[in-house]
Every structure is written in C-alpha cells, then in structure tokens.
Chains A and B, each alone.
Chain A
Amino acid sequence: MQQTKFSFEAIGTTWQIDIFEELNQAKRVKLLREISELIELFERSYSRFQSDSLVSQMAKQAGRYNLPADAKPLLDFYKAMNQLSKGIFTPCIGQMLVEAGYDANYSLAQKSPLTSPFPFEKLAYTNDSISLPKPVLLDFGAAGKGYLLDLIVVFLEREKHPYFCLDAGGDIFYQGQKGQKLKVGLENPANLEQVLGILELEQGSLCSSAGNRRKWNNFHHIINPQTKSSPTKVLATWVKTPQAMLADGLATALFLIEPEILESKYHFDYLIVYNDYTTRQSTGFKAKLFN
C-alpha cells in the first residue's frame, strides 16, 4: 500500500505522521503546511516555553483573557482531573516546575523553595474567556500533546484522510484500515535500545510517560504539588484509550494517583512499570511483556 510520510520537529520533539494513501506532491505540501500551522497555533496558545504565548502572558498579569475556540475541552479535562485527584493534578503546577528548575531556559537548578500552586478551582472560565485573580503560569505538559494529537485527528478526518498514524515522540494515535493492527514496542525507559514488551494496537491512542528521561537533581518533569517532590515509585506508564488527551493525561496521572481512583471516572487500559521492574497491567491492555 502506498503511504505518505511526514517527519519533522515540533513542540520539542520528533514527529512522524503516516497517511495510509498515496498523495501527489501538491497535496502533500498543502497537508504538511496545514498540520504545521495547526501545531504552531497550538503552541502560541498553550506552550509555556514560548515567551509570547497566551499562557506566558497569563503568567505576567492578572485579568480576563480571550481563549481560543479549542481551549474548553482541555480545561474541562484538567478541571475533572483536578477534582478527582483532590488538587494533585493541576495545570497550575507551572510555577512550581519553574521554581524547581524546569523553566523555558532549562536552567535545571532550583531557584527557590517550592510554593504551593494557585488553586485551579479559583480560575473561572467560559467557552471563550478565562479570568485570573492573579498571574498564574499554566502548564499543559500532562495532556496538551495528547489534545494536540486529537485536534490533528479531527482535522485529517475532516479533510477526508481516514487512515493514518500520528507519532509525536512516542505518543501515538493510530487509525488503520480494517484489521490492520500496529505492532508497538514499549520502550524500556532505562535503555532506549530495548523494549519491555509489545502491544498490538487496533486503533486509538497509546501514550506513555517516564520519570527518568527529563530528570535533574531530585526532580523530573512530574512534581506532586502536595509532597513538592517528583514521584519515584513508578518508573513508566502507558495508557491506551480512544482519545489521545485522555491517554496522555492519564499516563501522567498514574505517577500521582492510584489507578482505581482514575478508573472510577474514566475507561482506559494501562501498564505501570514500577522502579523494581515489577508491573501492573489492566486486563484490557493485553501487552506481551518480556520476563
């Protein structure tokens, strides 16, 4: 079968987009341009690593801000997760990540004692605006990339490209032709030349999170705002759901919250690898693990 393949760097990672159909040169160029624009637009709103992004502006000044049309589902997900986790899962973690050293310049040195995040429930938002009683640095690192994958899925379907595989640095959304499964290796976070098992993905999203990749001093990119430390018990997580935002967000959440609590609200399948290399996988995950 003919395929169209795009490979590029964006939001700090390597992307590989495969469209399972043959496209002529003009269509390929147009499609790649439109996808790139979608990603750039997303970063201008939600990336705290861009100094002029919406979230960077919100970190400087209190007030009411207009939101892009796609903001509400993302904020709603964070709100639901914030309630479910009793405040542990929050986009207001941005300031704490910066204080710990995970800032836009990657200083990776703790600047000050970590201060508790602003309570997310005190941020009022509607479909098109959000009001900040004080400056708050929002971080959408937990579910933002997954949500971006979902937005690209909607775009591709609207443009009549039904079969594709999106891979944003190891977070995947796959929609193959009937019966075509994707054979996915589950990366060993301690050795990137290895995989710990294989999952056959029929369709939907598979996202992962690992604590020992973006790591400095005593921290990695996930910090629990209540303990003010990075979780160490979990080494890596994988979550499979039909929606990438959920898969991405829940993969992060499994570092902070027991799966039973998350399962009380969401349907998802997961694999957790603990720091002693023991594992826990939901019955529907069905990965073949090497042991």
Chain B
Amino acid sequence: MSDEINSSSPNNSKLYAGLAIGLIAVVLVAARQFNQTENGSETTPTNQVMETGQQAAEGDRALEMVTLASYQDGVYDVIGEYMSPGGAEQIAVKVALQDGVITEASVETQAVRPNSVKFQNIFAENYQEQVIGKSIDQLKLDKVAGSSLTPKGFNDALEKIKAQAQTS
C-alpha cells in the first residue's frame, strides 16, 4: 500500500482517515436499511453507532471500535453515492462485520470524472487499517519487543520535574 501522501503530509492522511470513517458509517446506515428491507426487521435504525467518550475524542482512530449493536454478521457490499462539484459520483465500500465490530473494510473507486477519479484513488490508496493494542495477559508470548525500558535515572528526573511544576 502506498504511503507517499501519508508520509509527506500527516494532516491529509488524517483527513482521509476521517473521511473513511464517515463514509463507512454512511454506508453502514445504507447497509442497514438494505438489510432491513430484506428481512423486514423493525428495529429502530437510529443511534446504532456508539462510541465511548475517549474514542469519540479521537474520532479518526475509532474505526475498529465502532460497535453496531443490531447488525448481523456478514460482509456488506455497498455503493456509496455523493455529490461532487461536477455532479453525482459513486464509490464502492465493502465491510465485514463480526459481533457488531467492523473486522475488515475496503474501498473501490467508481468515479467517472477525472478529478473525482483522482481524489478517490488518493483516498483508496491512503485508506489504511489502524492498529490497536491487545492486552498482554490475553496472549501467550515468549518476549515483548519495545523501545528500551526507560532508564531509571530518566524516570526519576521526570518525576522530580513534575513535582517542581506542581509546587511552583
């Protein structure tokens, strides 16, 4: 996956990530309605995207944490429509849901206008899955590789500085 744009302008990549969340949320609403018409379910469609406070604060990180309480497991393949300055365009989004969590997502560009093709390609190339942490207790590991344990002197110094900042 290309990182060219991501690495040269982190702000843009955030924008794309945010766009990705937005789009996927929109598509899921569409998917839900589609799903509903199929099985005739009557559950209320509102309020299905729930985020915790912290995740909401870090909006563009929240993709993997978005829980969709009342969706069935499965792969949803949906065309999203939006209005570009030149007119209507489409983008295809595929998401896999398991236990109410998006486990996979991909996008496919379907634009016709040159500018829209360009932007959708940028989006598709920069849409990246984000990693999340898993508790070490849950895993059987031989070792953990990380940045070197912070030198003790460094930690002590930081504590001292914090204490000074509080008293002054």
- In contact, A182 and B142 (Cβ under 8 angstroms): yes
CB of A188 to closest CB in B, whole Å: 4
Partner among A206, A276, A277, A279 whose Cβ is within 8 Å of the Cβ of B145 = A206
Interface: A41 (CB within 8 A): no
Chain B contact surface mostly:
mixed
A108 touches B157 (CB 8 A): yes
Contact, CB under 8 Å: A187 / B144: yes
CB distance from B95 to the nearest CB of A (A): 13
Chain B residues with CB under 8 Å of A106's CB are: 151, 153-154, 156-157
Q: Which residues on the A side are within 8 Å of B7 (C-beta)?
A: 233, 258, 274
- In the assembled complex, which residues on chain A have CB atoms less than 8 Å from the CB atom of B131? 196-197, 273, 277-279, 289-291
Are B148 and A169 closer than 8 Å at their CB atoms?
A: yes
Q: How large is the interface on A (under 10, 10 to 19, 20 to 34, 35 or more residues)?
A: 35 or more
Residues of B within 8 A of A277 (CB): 61, 130-132
Most buried by A among B1, B7, B64: B7
Contacts of A182 in B (CB 8 A): 142-143
The residue that B10 contacts in the complex, of A206, A275, A291, with Cβ under 8 A, is A275
Closest residue to A240 on the B side, CB-wise? B145
Query: Are the C-beta atoms of B145 and A278 separated by less than 8 Å?
Result: no
Q: Is A238 an interface residue (CB 8 A)?
A: yes
Bound-state CA distance A106–B150 (Å) is 12
Q: How far is the CA of A194 from the CA of B132 in the complex (A)?
A: 9
- Flag the segment in B35-43, B49-57, B73-81, B133-141 that touches A: B133-141
Stretch from A71-79, A128-136, A152-160, A210-218 that touches the partner? A210-218
Report the separation of the CA atoms of residues A199 and B131 in the bound assembly, to the nearest whole angstrom: 14
A-B contact pairs, 13 of them (CB 8 A): A172-B145, A183-B143, A184-B141, A194-B134, A195-B144, A198-B141, A206-B145, A209-B147, A214-B154, A216-B158, A216-B161, A277-B131, A278-B128
Residues of the A chain whose Cβ atoms lie less than 8 Å from the Cβ of B144: 170, 184-187, 195
Residue B13 lies at the interface, judged by CB distance under 8 Å to chain A: yes
- Contact (Cβ within 8 A) B133 A171: no
Say yes or no: is A191 at the interface (Cβ < 8 Å to chain B). Answer: yes
B129 close to chain A: CB less than 8 A: yes
Interface residue B6 (Cβ < 8 Å from any Cβ of A): yes
Q: How far is the CA of A214 from the CA of B134 in the complex (A)?
A: 23
Tell whether, in the assembled complex, residue B10 and residue A188 are in contact, meaning their CB atoms are under 8 Å apart: no
Known: A183-B141, A187-B145. 15 other contacts (CB 8 A): A12-B148, A13-B149, A106-B156, A170-B145, A172-B143, A182-B143, A187-B147, A206-B145, A208-B145, A209-B147, A213-B147, A213-B150, A236-B147, A276-B60, A277-B131
Task: For the complex formed, measure the closest distance between the CB of B33 and the CB atoms of chain A, giving whole angstroms.
Answer: 27
Q: Report, nearest first, the 5 A-B pairs whose CB atoms are least far apart.
A: A187-B146, A194-B133, A12-B151, A210-B147, A106-B157
Considering the complex, give the chain A residue whose CB is closest to the CB of B103. A291
Contact pattern, A 161-181, Cβ under 8 Å of B = 1, otherwise 0 = 000010111111010000000
Complex contacts, A48 vs chain B, CB 8 Å: none
Q: Are B134 and A170 in contact (CB under 8 A)?
A: no
Check B145–A13 contact: CB distance below 8 A.
no
Residues in B with CB closer than 8 Å to A291 are 64, 129-132
Residues of chain B within 8 A of A192, CB atoms compared: 146
Q: Output the least CB separation between A211 and chain B (Å).
A: 8
What are the residues of chain A within 8 A of B158 when measuring CB–CB? 108, 216
